Structure 1
Amino acid sequence: MPRARSGDTKARIQAVALELFASKGLQQTSLRDIADQLGMTKPALYYHFASRDELVRSLAIPLIDDMTAFLAGLEASPADPRELLGAYFDVTYRHRVLLQVAIRDLSVLQQMDLTDHVFDWRRRIVALLIGPSPSLEHQVRGMVALGGLSDCTVAFEDVDVDELRTAAVAAAYDALRPGVQGMSAQGMAP
């Protein structure tokens, strides 16, 4: 029988860890729980991840990479606001299980080194939506729109994703629109 490649085993560990963190909570899930679920020893798990913190932080890397690529693409070629909001929904929806874990235990954001990333992402997206020097009102509308949009990706688990996307993007767009009517190319159309 061929031996599992290290990358495959790491991915399995990450998948099981995320599943257990989502069902039991980060603080209530031990490395022993993860090892037992995988049918491996705790030392075998340590072979792939030197510490629990390393394992936890590794779960955020796909989200960070995905959002970095998303923003780089938008900053190179700005999108229509509705398209941008839809694409943001798609990125956050792909990572909804991780986001659910973080929402249930906000210390996860710190453990995964995500706090600064999240604020930077939202600031950059607001600038793309309503311009580089928005008023406080516009900034607040942007944060409400993006926060509400991403919350929808985790709050409505049993709703058809296409239906949810349509409703969430429309609501986010509406939250932005009154404060940014009359903005030019990077902003919102009335």
Structure 2
Amino acid sequence: MTARESARERGERNGRARPVAGVDTRTRIQEVALELFTQQGYEKTSLREIADRLGVTKAALYYHFKSKEEIVSSTVEDFLTDIDELVAWATEQPRTTETRHELLRRYSDLVDRRFPAMRFFQQNPTGTHKTQLGEEFKERMQAMHGLLYDDGPPAQRIRALLAIVGMHMGTVIFENDDYGTPEELKQATLDVAFELVDRA
């Protein structure tokens, strides 16, 4: 089950998010909070609303997070950790077409799993700015970018960059369109990314 599907299936029942088997409380809080931030706006969403959507008390929410800033910061930090692990793996591999393709596949899976976070960052950047982690995310993207091309003219670097950006944008832009199933869109995005890095 993809992150996108789990978010849709969670939905709302009587104004509260349904529990999801296998998802810990901290992750549920992050996902539900990001959904509300995206729907209502970061500034307009309160911790009380997040607790109500989850079906827990505000005190129970406070056990995990003391503020909205903590929720967003923790989400960014989790994403950064995932990217660090991926970059560390790719750095140890030979710089081949196969490695670049596998790096993109793994990053595609990561973006899919972190779909609520990607949607929030794209549509509601105010909260991201408040975390002061935007620069760190940029650094991770630069590290990944550097693994997707060999030295060459600017056009090669731009193609490698577009391969990454395409995954981010496609996740959000085509979320509710009828161009295909999530799996078909994911594969189409990967195919385009492969073409871009192969030319780079």
TM-score by length of 1: 0.76
SS of alignment partner, residue 69 of structure 1 = helix
Cα deviation, residue 43, structure 1: 4.2
Kindly indicate whether the alpha-carbon contact (under 8 Å) linking 2:80 and 2:137 is maintained by their aligned counterparts in 1: no
- 1:86 & 1:69 partners in 2: Cα distance? 14
The percentage of counterpart residues that share the same residue type is: 33
Q: 1:121 to 1:163 in 2, by over 3 A?
A: same
Unaligned segments of structure 2, at least 5 residues: 1-23
Q: Residue 100 in 1 paired to residue 119 in 2? A: yes
Give a deviation string over 1:138-189, Cα, whole Å, max 9, x none.
22222122101221122222542331222112212223344x3xxxxxxxxx
**Cα 1:39–1:64, aligned 2, differ >3 Å: closer, same or farther?**
same
Distance in 2 between residues matched to 1:86 and 1:119, nearest whole Å: 20
Residue 140 (structure 1) aligned with residue 154 (structure 2): no
In the alignment, is residue 14 of structure 1 matched against residue 30 of structure 2?
yes
TM-fit CA distance, 1:9: 4.3
How large is the Cα RMSD of the aligned pairs? Answer: 2.5
1:128 matches 2:147 = yes
Summarize deviations over 1:100-126 as a string: whole Å, max 9, x none: 111112223323444223322222222
Counterpart CA distance in 1 for 2:164 and 2:157 is 11
Residue 127 of structure 1 contacts residue 134 of structure 1 at CA under 8 Å; is this kept in 2?
no
Which shifted more, 100-109 or 155-164?
Answer: 155-164
TM-score for the superposition, normalised by structure 2:
0.72
Larger Rg, first or second structure (1 or 2): 1
- 8 Å Cα contact 1:145/1:173 also seen in 2: yes
Matches within 5 A, 1:103-114: 103-114=122-133
Q: How many matched pairs? A: 172
SS in 2 for 1:130: coil
